[in-house]
Amino acid sequence: MKPWSVALIVELLAVLAQPTPEDVYKCFAELGVSDLQTLQTAFAKGFADKRITPEVALRLCQRLKQTAAPISLREGILQIIGRALLEELPVTMLVDKAFEGLTKGVPLDLLNDDLLERKTTLGEVKALLASKGVRITTTIRFGAVTLMLTLEIVDLVITEAAWALEDYVRGGGKLDDISAIKFAVQSRLERNPAIPRTLISYIDQQVSALEWAQIAQNITKRLKKGGG
């Protein structure tokens, strides 16, 4: 057999071994969720939008199957991520925190609260950036540069900004130092090489320190209300 034929077979087998959406939905059913249809709809949208892969979703579902907690709390993790997908929010932070919480043995009622709070932050960051023109398929012009914004880029900016704000607040950052809050966001954006420098400069110009600080204030209020 020719070498190229072997390589093709290996590649084909690898593709066939990848989890499918149907594998994920089967896992949801085996988990015993009460609202399978809503989860299927939400995750199908997530797969189509490429905000989450069947492989990641299946790993999370399988991890939840191993958890000794009421099904309502385990399903709650999936429902929060599912609602984020339906709202066209990036879910990388939520998925990462879900795995982290499960690994550390965080009680699922607290983990649900944490994910719900972070989902709200993602929504606020998305709304703020959208109000400045940072939206999917939008073209922005900054100086002599024209940049077409893709879903991947916009989702990445939303995620990084939300991470920065959450870390700032949870790390005890001063809420009255609005310049420090903006610096925390801009610094995190600058550390990610996948985000175009032009876009980072545009956001720096368009989003004020006060606007970032407002979201930080909102995070603080939610954490106090939830006992976080």
- Tell whether the model's pLDDT for residue 187 goes beyond 50: yes
Count: domains in the chain: 2
- Indicate the DSSP class of residue 89: -
Q: Does 132 lie in the same domain as 223?
A: yes
Nearest-angstrom CA–CA distance, 219 and 165: 8
Q: Does 228 lie in the same domain as 124?
A: yes
Q: Does 130 lie in the same domain as 32?
A: no
What percentage of residues in the chain have a pLDDT greater than 70? 92
In a domain, 106, yes or no: no
- Tell whether the model's pLDDT for residue 199 goes beyond 50: yes
- Tell whether the model's pLDDT for residue 15 goes beyond 70: no
Which tens digits make up the pLDDT trace of 122-149?
A: 999 999 999 999 999 889 888 888 999 9
Q: Does 146 lie in the same domain as 202?
A: yes
pLDDT at 226: 77
The whole domain housing 126 covers 120-228
At 140, phi and psi to the nearest 5? -110, 150
